[in-house]
Structure 1
Amino acid sequence: MENSQTARTRLNMHIAAGTLLAAAVLGIYAQSLGFDFIDLDDGVYVTQNPMVQAGLTAQGVAWAFQTLHGGFWIPLTWISLMADQSLFGGGAWGFHLTNMLLHLANSLLVLQVLSPLTKSFRLSFISALIFAVHPLHVESVCWVSERKDVLFAFFFLLGIGAYGRYVQSRKRAWLLWIFCAGFLSLAAKPMAVALPFILLILDYWPLNRFSRGKVRCLILEKIPLALMCLGFGLITLYAQNLYRGVQSLDAVPLAARIGGAVYAYGWYALKSLWPLNLGVFYPHPGMDLPVYQAVLAGVFFAAAAGLTWRFRERTPWLTAGWFFFIVALLPVIGLVQSGLQGRADRFMYIPLLGLIIGAVWTGDWLIRKRDSLAKPGIGLAAAFVIFLFVLSTLQAREWRDSITLYAHTLDVTKKNYMVHEYLGSSLAARGRLDEAVQEYEKALAINPRHGDAWYGLGCLAVNRGEFEEGAEYFRQALAWEPDHVEALFGLAAAQIQLGDVSAAAKNLKKVLAADPGHVQAGKRLQTLMDGTSKAMWD
C-alpha cells in the first residue's frame, strides 16, 4: 500500500512539473506561431530550397543523405524540415510549432534525465524550468533555420539518459542506444561531437565513477562514440571549407581567435545570469578587441576554472557544471573560426545546462549549510525564473519578422556591419530601396571590405538601369572578396547590358568554374554562345 501511495505521489509530481514546464514554454513561444520566416538562412533551409519545398519524398530523403548544402552534413535536420513542409503546407507557423514542441520536449527531457542521475527531482525540476524559460534559447526556438539546435539537443539528451541507464544496469545494450542517439544528434547538428566528453564529465559527477583504476575503462567504453564524433567533425570541416565558411589565419589571426574565445566564454557566462541586449549576430572583434576586455575575460576564465577545480571535493557539481559548459561550447568557441560571428545565442542551447546545474546545486548546498538562507534563496530563485520568463517573452517578439529583428539587433550592438547589410537586403526585397541604400552605406562605413554590401549596392544600381555604376560596385565587391560568386555573376550581367559580351562570357565561365550548379550563369552563357546578347537580368 505504501509503495502504491509513493508511486502515485511520484506520478502526481511528474504531472505537475510537466504541466508547469509546458505552461512556461507555451507562454513564451505560442506567439511564434504568428511569426514569419527570417531572411537570414531561412531561404537556404526552407523557402528557397526546392528539395525542402517539395516536401518529404524518397528523392528528398536521398538528397538529405548526400548533400553538404549550407556547409553541413545534417540529413536528419533536412528530413524534419521536409516533413514539416508536407504536414503544414509551407506555412511558417508549422515550422515554428515544431521548434516550440521540440524545445518543450527538451525541457521535459532535462527533468527526466537529471532526476535519476542526480537523485534529486526538486533540483532537476528547477534546472529544467530555467532551461525552458532562458532568453539565450529564444534564437534556437524562434529561428526556423535553427531546427538544428532543438533537434540535436533532443537526441543529445536522450544519449545522456541512455548513458544513465547503462551505468545503472550495466547492460551493454544501452551502449548501442547511446551510439544511435549520438549518431542522430550528430546528423542534426555536428556540435554534438562533445557528447563523449560530456559523458566523461558526468562520470565524475553525479555518477561518481572516477577512480584511478577506472579511468582507462571509462575512456575505452566511449572510444566508438568518440571515433564517430571525429568522423563527423572531419566531414564538417570539409563541408565548411567547401562552402568557404572556415576563415583563414590571415582573416582571423591566431591571437584574435584565442582572445575572442576567452572573451566569448566570459560573455556567455555573464549572459547566462543577465541575458539583456541579445541579438541575432555579434561580429567577431578580431584584433580590435580592447586589451582590458581580453585581460578581464582571461582572469575570470582562469579564476573560475581554478576555483571550481580547487573546491572539487566539496562542490563536485560546480566543477562538473563548469567543465560541461566549457567542453560543450568548445566546438563553436572560435578556435576554428567558421563564419564571421564572434558569439551566438544559439551556441548556448546545450552548454547553458552546465551552468544551470552548477548554479542550482550550489545554491541548494548553501541553503543546506545555513538554514537562514532558505527563504531568501527560494524567493531569489523564483524571482530569477520570473525575470527570465519576462525577458524571453519580450525577446521572442523581436523575432516576428526580419526587419524587426535586424533593427533590434542594431539597437543592442555596436559597429554591426553585417546586420546593416542584412537589413539593407530585407528592405530591398520589400521595395524600400532608398532605405536599403542607406543601410548598405552604413555597413561600408564600418567595414569597407564587406563584399556583400558592395554587391547589394550593385544589384540596386542595375535594377535602376544604372549599369556602369552597378558594374563598379560589383568590381569593388570582387576587389575585397575575389571568390564572391554572385558579385562576379552580377558583373557579367551588367556587362551584357553594356554590350561587353566578351568580358561577360569570361566572367560567366569563371562563375561556372566556381559553382558548376549555377543555373542562371549557365543559361546566360548558353544564350551568349547562341549569339544572343540581349539583357536577361532577373
Structure 2
Amino acid sequence: MKTKKLLDDNSLDSKLPFPKLSNWFYVIIVACMSVLCYSNSYYGAFVFDDSEAVVNNHDVNLKTPLIKIFSHDFWGTRLTNHASHKSYRPLTILSFRFNVWVNNGILSPKAFHLTNIILHAFVSCQFLFVYNLLFNGNAPKTSFLAALMFAVHPVHVEVVSGVVGRADLLSTCISLFVFIIYQKAAKTKQITTMTNFIITLICCILSCMAMLCKEQGLMIMTFCGVYEVIVINKITFHSLMKHVKISKMTKLFKKESSERLFFLVMGFFLILYGRWTVMGSPPVFQQIDNPASFLKSPIERIINYSFIYIINIWILICPVWLCFDWSMGCISLIQLNTFPKDLRMFIVFGFWTILLLVIYKLFFSKNYDKNFDKKQIQMGFLLGLLSFLPASNLMFTVGFVIAERVLYLPSAGFIIIVVLGIRRLCFNSFTQKVVGMFIILLVYMHSVRTYNRSKDWNNELNLFQSALKVCPMNAKVHYNLAKSLADIGKTEEAINCYKHALLLHPNYDQAMNNLANILKDQNELEEARFLLEKAVTIRNDFAAAWMNLGIVLSAQQKYIKAENAYLTALQHRKSYPHCYFNLGNLYLEMGENTKALFAWQNATFQQPTHVISWNNMIVLLESIGQLKHAEHVARTALSILPNEPNLYFNIANILGKMDKFVEAEKHFLAAIQLKHLASKIQIVALYHSNLGVLYHRWEKYDLAEKHYKQALRIDPKIQKVRNNLALLYKQLQEINQSTLNTKSNQYEKDL
C-alpha cells in the first residue's frame, strides 16, 4: 500500500506541465526570482517602523553595551517600562548591529535591505526542500512550484522591503531548520532515547532562537508535534475514538514518538514560561491599534475577528489590497444592531460554514481517508493555522488589525493547498496545457505585483500615498502622509492631511500635537494652544504635547502656565532632555539664570550629547562674567563632543576675553576646520569674524584683515564685520601716519 502511495505521488507530480530538472537548477531559479522581484528594495530608505526600530534605536548603535539589548524590547525600551510593547527580539537587534558593524559603524539602508533580500532568497530555497519533505520526498516539481510561488508572492513585500521584516525572515529561517532536523529524526526507524533527547533538545534550542527573533517562532514546535502525530504515527480522529482511554491511547504511538513528543511538550512549556517571565506583564495597546479587541460583547469580538481572518485569506488569494497599516477605520466594526443591514454578517457566517466543513472533511470524514493527498493538505492547513495563531487575537490581544508581515510563514501552508489543487487538475494533456498557461500567468502577475509593490516601500511618501488607495478612511494613513509632506517642506498639504485625519478620528491626539507644531511655526499660536490643550485632555500623560504646550504658552508670554506645562511633561516622562532644554529657555526669558543653568544641566545629564544645552550654558555663563566656570563647562562638553565646531567657537571666545590669545586662536582654527559640520553658512562667517577680532586685539592686523574679508565673502550682509574692517583700516592709517611723522621728525633732527 505504501509503495502504491509513493507511485501515485510521483505520477501526479510528473503531470505538472514543466520539465523535471536537477534540484540545483530549481534552487537557482527560485533564488534568482526572489532577488529579481525585490531588486527595487536595495535602493529603498528606512521607512515607517524602521525609524523607531533601527534609526532611533540606541540598541542598534555599536556604542551601546551589547548586554543591554537583552533587557530591552524590539524598540529599545526597557521591558519593565509600562510603555513597552513587550516584543522581545534580541537576536533580530543583533542582526541589525551586524549590518552596522560590517558597514564600519554607518547606518546604511542598502546594507539592511540587501540582507533582507538575501534572507528571503535563502528561505525560499529552504522551502524547496521543506515542501519536498512534506510531499513524501517524491515530488520535486510540485515542491519547486510551491517554493516559486512563495518566492514571488506579493504579500511578502512588507517583510522583505521593510527592514523590521527581518524579524519574520530570521524567525522563519530558523523555524524551517527546526522542522528539517525534527523530520529527519522522526523518519529514522531505529533511534535511542538519548539520541531522541539530544535531537529534541537541539530543536527546542533552535525554536527558542526563532522566538528570540520573533514571537511566532515558537509555534514551529507545535507543527512538529502535529507532524509526529498525523504523518509519522498516522493517527486519525477515528483511531483516537477507538482508544479513548489513556492506557489504550499509548498503543497508538511508537515508543520513539512518545519520547520525542514528551520532550517537545516539556520544552515548549518551559520556553513559553521563560518568555512570559521575561515579558513580566502583557502589553497595553490603545483602542485605535485594534478596535475589535475593545468591544464589550464577546460575540461581536468573534464576528469582527472572523471578518479580519477573511481579509487575511483574501489578500493571500488576491494580493491587490496591500496596505502598510490597516488600523483606525480601515475596516469598520461589525455590530449586532446593524444586522441584517450589514452584509458582512453573511460573509462571516459563510466563512465559518465553509471552515467547519473543511475541518470535518480533513480530520473527521471516513471517506476522505481514501484521498492520498490528505496528509499533505492537513499539514498545509495546520502550518497556516498554527503559525497564524499568535496573530489571531485568540491567545492574547495584538497591537494591529491586519499585518501582512504575520502572513509570511502562514502563506507557506496556504500555498501547499493551492499547489496540490493545481496538481490534481492535470489529469489529461488538454488540462495540462491550460494549467501550464495558468501557472505562467500567475507567477508573472505575482512577480510584477511584487516588483511594483516593493517600489512603494522605497520611500515613505510613496508608501503612504499607496495606502490611500486601499484605506482612504484610515486616519493613521493621513497622519503619516502629513508627517512625510511636512518633512519635505509641503506645509499646506501637511496641514490638510492632519485636518483630514482629525476629521476621520476627532480624538487623534498625536495628529493634534503635530498639527499644533506646524501652526506654532506659522505663529498661529492661539489655534496651536487649543489643539494641544485638547490633546492633553484626551491623554493626560502625553508628555510631548505638554512640552509643546509649554513652548506655545512661552511664546505668548504666559510664563507661569508655560512652566507648569513643562513640569507636567517631566512628571510623565522623567528622562526628557529636550523638555529640560525648553524649560531652561523659559527661565532665561524670565531672568531666572540659576534655574536656566540647572535645567540645561539636567538636559546634558540625561543626554550628554545635547549640544544646544551645552552651548546655552557656556554662552550664559560668559554673558554674566563667569568666565572660569564657562571655560570649565566648555572643556567638559568638548571631552564628550570633540567634533562639535560651536563648542570650539564658544571656548575660543571665552579664552579671548581672558587674553589667552594663543589657545583661543587654536580653538577658532579648530572650529573653522570643522566648518562642514556647522548647521548654517552664516555661523562659519561668524567663526572668521570673531577670529578676526581676536587677531585685531592681538595686533596681528594682516591676519585680522584676512579673516574679516573671508567672513564678508561668506556673508556680505554682516555690518559688524564691515565696521570692524573699517576700524582696522583707520587704525592702520593712523599707525602709518604716526610712523611717517616719526620718520619726518627724525629726518629734521638729523639735518
Q: TM-score, normalised by structure 2?
A: 0.64
Q: Which stretch of structure 1 is more off in the superposition, 353-362 or 495-504?
A: 495-504
User: Are the structure 2 counterparts of residues 227 and 376 from structure 1 closer, same or farther at C-alpha, using a change threshold of 3 Å?
Assistant: farther
Larger Rg: 2
The answer as to whether partners of 2:174 and 2:206 remain within 8 angstroms in 1 is yes
1-structure distance, mates of 2:118, 2:293: 42
Cα offsets for 1:148-194 (capped at 9, x unmatched): 11111111211222221221234322212211211111111112232
Deviation at 1:349, TM superposition (A): 0.5
Deviation at 1:195, TM superposition (A): 2.3
User: Are the structure 2 counterparts of residues 298 and 456 from structure 1 closer, same or farther at C-alpha, using a change threshold of 3 Å?
Assistant: farther
Q: 1:498 aligns with which of 542, 553, 556?
A: 556
User: Are the structure 2 counterparts of residues 157 and 243 from structure 1 closer, same or farther at C-alpha, using a change threshold of 3 Å?
Assistant: farther
2:453 is the alignment partner of 1:434: no
Cα offsets for 1:284-339 (capped at 9, x unmatched): 53535773214313422431342243144332322332232222212112344433
1-structure distance, mates of 2:537, 2:349: 37
Look up the equivalent residue of 1:68 and give its one-letter code.
D
Deviation at 1:373, TM superposition (A): 3.5
Q: Which runs of 5+ in 2 are unaligned?
A: 1-19, 76-84, 241-249, 364-368, 604-611, 614-751
- Aligned residue number for residue 321 of structure 1: 380
Deviation at 1:143, TM superposition (A): 0.6
The answer as to whether partners of 1:309 and 1:319 remain within 8 angstroms in 2 is no
Cα offsets for 1:101-143 (capped at 9, x unmatched): 1111110111122323431222222111111100000010001
- Aligned residue number for residue 374 of structure 1: 432
1-structure distance, mates of 2:286, 2:583: 24
Map 1:277-316 → 2, pairs under 5 A: 277-283=321-327, 285=331, 287-288=333-334, 291-312=342-363, 313=369, 314=371, 315-316=374-375
2:185 is the alignment partner of 1:177: no
Q: Which stretch of structure 1 is more off in the superposition, 354-363 or 304-313?
A: 304-313
The answer as to whether partners of 2:425 and 2:435 remain within 8 angstroms in 1 is no
Look up the equivalent residue of 2:354 and give its one-letter code.
A
Cα offsets for 1:57-87 (capped at 9, x unmatched): 5x44212111125322110111111111222
The answer as to whether partners of 1:317 and 1:362 remain within 8 angstroms in 2 is no
Q: What SS does structure 1 have at the residue aligned with 2:426? A: helix
2-structure distance, mates of 1:80, 1:410: 33
User: Are the structure 2 counterparts of residues 440 and 236 from structure 1 closer, same or farther at C-alpha, using a change threshold of 3 Å?
Assistant: farther
Deviation at 1:397, TM superposition (A): 1.3
Q: What SS does structure 1 have at the residue aligned with 2:120? A: helix
The answer as to whether partners of 2:290 and 2:401 remain within 8 angstroms in 1 is no
Look up the equivalent residue of 1:433 and give its one-letter code.
T
2:434 is the alignment partner of 1:383: no
The answer as to whether partners of 2:44 and 2:457 remain within 8 angstroms in 1 is yes
The answer as to whether partners of 1:110 and 1:128 remain within 8 angstroms in 2 is yes
Q: 2:468 aligns with which of 388, 394, 410?
A: 410
Look up the equivalent residue of 1:458 and give its one-letter code.
A
2-structure distance, mates of 1:245, 1:167: 46
- Give the structure, 1 or 2, with the largest relative contact order (CA under 8 Å, sep 6 or more): 1
Deviation at 1:32, TM superposition (A): 1.1
- Aligned residue number for residue 5 of structure 1: none
2:114 is the alignment partner of 1:100: no
2-structure distance, mates of 1:252, 1:489: 33
1-structure distance, mates of 2:508, 2:186: 52
2:270 is the alignment partner of 1:270: no
Cα offsets for 1:37-63 (capped at 9, x unmatched): 11x2211112222332x33x5x44212
- Aligned residue number for residue 240 of structure 1: 283
Q: Which stretch of structure 1 is more off in the superposition, 323-332 or 235-244?
A: 235-244
1-structure distance, mates of 2:406, 2:293: 25
Q: What SS does structure 1 have at the residue aligned with 2:575? A: coil
The answer as to whether partners of 1:334 and 1:342 remain within 8 angstroms in 2 is no
Q: Which stretch of structure 1 is more off in the superposition, 478-487 or 154-163?
A: 478-487
Q: Which stretch of structure 1 is more off in the superposition, 345-354 or 479-488?
A: 479-488
Q: 1:47 aligns with which of 36, 40, 55?
A: 55
2:72 is the alignment partner of 1:67: yes
1-structure distance, mates of 2:300, 2:510: 23
Cα offsets for 1:423-461 (capped at 9, x unmatched): 001111222111100110111111111112111111112
2:406 is the alignment partner of 1:347: yes
- Aligned residue number for residue 8 of structure 1: none
Q: 1:91 aligns with which of 91, 105, 108?
A: 108
Q: Which stretch of structure 1 is more off in the superposition, 292-301 or 41-50?
A: 292-301
Q: What SS does structure 2 have at the residue aligned with 1:338? A: coil
User: Are the structure 2 counterparts of residues 513 and 248 from structure 1 closer, same or farther at C-alpha, using a change threshold of 3 Å?
Assistant: farther
Look up the equivalent residue of 1:238 and give its one-letter code.
S
The answer as to whether partners of 2:290 and 2:327 remain within 8 angstroms in 1 is no
Cα offsets for 1:465-522 (capped at 9, x unmatched): 3333222211222233333332222223323333444444444344334333333234
Look up the equivalent residue of 2:117 and give its one-letter code.
M
- Aligned residue number for residue 364 of structure 1: 423
Q: Report the count of equivalent residues.
A: 522
1-structure distance, mates of 2:171, 2:577: 33
2-structure distance, mates of 1:500, 1:208: 77
Look up the equivalent residue of 2:478 and give its one-letter code.
H
User: Are the structure 2 counterparts of residues 134 and 497 from structure 1 closer, same or farther at C-alpha, using a change threshold of 3 Å?
Assistant: same
2-structure distance, mates of 1:395, 1:362: 27
Q: What SS does structure 2 have at the residue aligned with 1:282? A: coil
Deviation at 1:366, TM superposition (A): 4.5
The answer as to whether partners of 1:135 and 1:395 remain within 8 angstroms in 2 is yes
1-structure distance, mates of 2:558, 2:287: 30
Map 1:462-501 → 2, pairs under 5 A: 462-501=520-559
2-structure distance, mates of 1:377, 1:259: 37
Give the superposed CA RMSD. Answer: 3.1
Q: What SS does structure 2 have at the residue aligned with 1:287? A: coil
Deviation at 1:406, TM superposition (A): 0.5
Deviation at 1:230, TM superposition (A): 4.7
2-structure distance, mates of 1:487, 1:147: 33
Look up the equivalent residue of 1:430 and give its one-letter code.
I
Q: What SS does structure 2 have at the residue aligned with 1:221? A: helix
The answer as to whether partners of 2:293 and 2:301 remain within 8 angstroms in 1 is no
Q: What SS does structure 2 have at the residue aligned with 1:283? A: coil
Cα offsets for 1:356-387 (capped at 9, x unmatched): 1122123324536x676333233322321222
Q: Which runs of 5+ in 1 are unaligned?
A: 1-10
